[in-house]
Structures are given as structure tokens and as C-alpha cells.
Amino acid sequence: LNLEYGKTSSLSATLCFDDNVCTYLTDIDEPLATFTDDGTGCFSVDSQTGELTILANSVGQATVTMTASDCGGTIADPVSASYSFWTNLKTSFVGDLDLGNAMADVYGTHEVGETLDITVRIRAATAMKAFQIKLIIDPTYISAQSCSVGSAWSGSFACTINDPLEEILFVGSNPTSTLSGNDILVGNFQLKFLATGTTSISGSVVSLFDGTVKCSPASPCTL
């Protein structure tokens, strides 16, 4: 499920009976099944229609479950089926920032000593002339090993790591840039895993100028 925050996608669900007659749930008016989410907060689901709404990147796969109607209590053990999938947010508004894989597992699970390459993507409405992005990591669990320019950006670029240890900074400028759109790949960085546990990466677009929106240190566009 690769969508902007709050966008929806419909499930295609089929219900089959003992006589081998199958029907799409959308083809009948009477509710013969209900849908439930897995409680992770990555998505919500309409209990009657199965329409999914994306809310966050998933850690591992998310799961939606369809349970057949108990027909007013006449069926003691209604059948159910589950479907697992990844939720991946696209950048949703001008100045929005997204990290990690755009599809499948965003960061994954890793062993101590392993490294992980992470992409940095941003959204701009019109020609993006300049940006500054600051990411914060927990040096107890991960350390920054390197950083580099993203494949979509051309112009001046600089990035710093470990100054201080918890900060990764990206800065770009190009007065003649015409780059705009969703999920613009402006940078990359590599992390090394130092200890077991669960950690997160936070960040903000400290400054952005694209002709319509200007994030600033006083009012950054946060991740």
C-alpha cells in the first residue's frame, strides 16, 4: 500500500459458499462479512466495505482480517481470512519528508554490526531552489557511516554526519533548478547498528524554497 497519508484503497474480497458459488462482496447489498485492522495504527479499515486508509509506514507487514457473517448467530464459528501487506507513505504535502524504502519494508530488521542504506525524499510544488534537512538518530543504537547526494538533485550539495553524533544534515542549492514533484530523492545516508533494541529516526525540513512554500528554522516542516 503505497499512498499519501490519509488516501484510500479498496480491497477485492471474494466469499465462497459450500455449494462452490463465489461472489465479490461488492456485488451484494447485504453485509456478509466484516473487516478489522491489526491495531498497529499503520492503517484503518472500513468494517463494512474493506476500504483501507493509510496512516503510517509499517514496521513489518500490516494485516487486515475479513470475517464472514455469523448469520444472526446461527453459525458458531464463522470463517475468516487475513491479508498481509506493507504500508509505505509517499510525501503528502509540500515540504513533507520521507525516509527509507518506498516499497516493502521501510527499514527492516538488522543484526548488530550490519549497515543499512536509507534514502531521503522530499516534496516540492514548483521549482525547488534550496533545501536544508536535519535528521536525528539515537547514537546508542545506530551510528551514521556516510552521506551522499540523491540521484534527483543537481546543484550545490553538502551533508554532514556525527557533528554532533545524533545529527545528519543535508543542504542543497541551485538557483536554476526546475525540479518539482512528489518523492524527490535528494540524499542518501548509511547507518550501522550498534546495539539490540528498537529505535526511530526523526527529522525536519529546516528550510525549503520552491516558489510557494518556505520552511524556516523558526517554522520547520517536520517529519
- Res 211 pLDDT > 90: no
pLDDT tens digits, 24-37: 665 555 567 889 99
Q: State the residue for C-alpha cell 527499514.
A: 107
CA distances from 211 to 34, 92, 105, 180 (A): 47, 18, 34, 10
**How many of the other CB atoms lie within 10 Å of CB of 155?**
15
How many CB atoms sit inside 10 A of residue 139's CB? 15
**Which amino acid would we find at residue 34?**
T
55-96 pLDDT tens trace: 888 878 899 998 877 665 555 577 888 989 888 888 777 888
- 205 burial (CB, 10 Å; 0-12 / 13-18 / 19+) is buried
Say what the pTM is.
Answer: 0.73
